[in-house]
Amino acid sequence: MFIGEDPIHIKTESKEDIASLVLMPGDPLRAKYIAENFLDDAKLVTSVRNMLGYTGYYKGIKVTVMSSGMGMPSMSIYAFELFHFYNVQKIIRIGTCGAVNPKALINEILLSSSVYSETNFAYTYNDYKEHVVYANEELNNKILDNAKKLNLSDRLHVGMLTTMDVFGPYIDYDRVLNRIPKEYEILGEEMEAFALIHIANTMNRKATTLATVVDSKFSNVVLSIEDREKSLNDMINLALESIIE
């Protein structure tokens, strides 16, 4: 195994430039948006390959917002480097997803209790042969508590997500969903959660995923730009309140 002494895909002036608490949106520009609108004294600390990372303060506590890119390979690179080189302790992925269950409605937020994937990612990573990984229960409980305080409980669903190797809307993903064992009730599909949570569990760190439902196989509703922004802001607030506890 070759790891080296320094990360290859994150470059900071100092290891202290990355906080021990990290939010990870997929989109670099969403990381920029969060830094500018939610953090105090935020500064850009890494921009290798335009994968932007900012560190600032939320209610006086140091927090980093680091983009992950799309898909498990990209997420796994940044999650590993954050955990291994920067001693990050908690990561909450904040992203979007498609609902594949009528219980999950457009504009609602899904919290991963577990994630199913038929990928070989974990087997390649460290010979893990199971297809389910479990999010950190302590972190999830804090999110549930804060959802009550923020009056978001009625829009929050806890359950299993599925992480796909391809972008669901571009394939016949019912074919994939039909291969998932019937005892698993999947709420939504996305592309990064499985990798993040598996790496966190392997390294004895804490991670989970919050995903706002922006499309659904059961609905033709398309969120306006304003509605999507408000929904994402609610999720960002929930993640920030929970990760600092």
Dist CA 99 CA 187 (whole Å):
6
What is the rounded CA–CA span in Å between residue 68 and residue 37? 19
Amino acid residing at 194:
F
CB 81 within 8 A of CB 9: yes
Greatest Cα pair distance in the chain: 50
CA 201 and chain centroid, separation: 14
Q: How many CA atoms lie within 13 A of 24 on its CB side?
A: 32
DSSP β-bridge partners for residue 186: 160
- In residues, how long is the chain? 245
Q: Which of 120, 102, 121 is nearest to 187 (CA)?
A: 102
Q: Which of 165, 215, 227, 234 is catalytic?
A: 215
DSSP class of 170: G
Angle at 161 between CA 195 and CA 31, to 5 degrees: 60
Distance CA 151, CA 143 (A): 12
Cβ atoms of residues 66 and 60 within 8 Å = no
Active-site annotation holds for 40: no
Residues recognised as catalytic: 215
